[in-house]
Amino acid sequence: MSLDALDTTERVIAYCRQNNLIEGAQTDIEELIRRTPNLELVKKPLRDGIDAYIREIEPQKYEIGVNSKHSLTRQRFSMAHEFAHFQLHRKNLKELEEGERILHRSDERNLIEWQANSFAAEILMPEDQFREEIERTRGNISEIAERFGVSELALRYRAKNLGMRGHGV
């Protein structure tokens, strides 16, 4: 499967599995971005309130910037979120605000941001593995979040999108 064809979460997950970019339960989002043509990853301190950004730095060449001051779990979700914008919204990137807070938004009704958050959650926590981890850990949120390398907030977001209820998973 070509990197150019990663426009759905199913294709991203299949590509990652075929190319050994999922180890245990964790998707190697950094390596996925590194392998993507015309996409660069930069980790650097960003101003307060900004998790990450994506921007066109040259015609058809893009940069994902991630706030290096944040926890690794937050950085991973931010990378996946911006990768989603690259795959889904590349033609409209100029319309997006440069620099954003991710998964902490009160305007979840914004379709573009909802799509990016959902795409990110799905590639970092594929449904089949997610459900297996819930069974294996009996819904232990901390353990599941650690296994996927995501925050508990991201884990709860994924569970909610899968129709799971309750304070735990």
By DSSP bridging, strand 26-27 and strand 39-44 are: unpaired
Domain ranges of the chain: 3-161
What is the chain's pLDDT, residue by residue, as a tens digit (169 residues)? 666 678 899 999 999 999 999 998 999 999 999 999 999 999 999 998 899 999 999 999 999 999 999 999 999 999 999 999 999 988 877 776 666 656 554 445 588 889 999 999 999 999 999 999 999 999 999 999 999 999 999 999 999 999 997 645 5
Is the whole model's pTM more than 0.85, yes or no? yes
Q: Which residues, in sequence order, are CB contacts of 95 under 8 Å at separation 6+?
A: none
Sign of the dihedral defined by the CA atoms of residues 133, 43, 34, 62, in that order: positive
Question: What is the reported pLDDT for 168?
Answer: 55
Rounded CA separation 76/72 (Å): 6
Rounded CA separation 53/46 (Å): 9
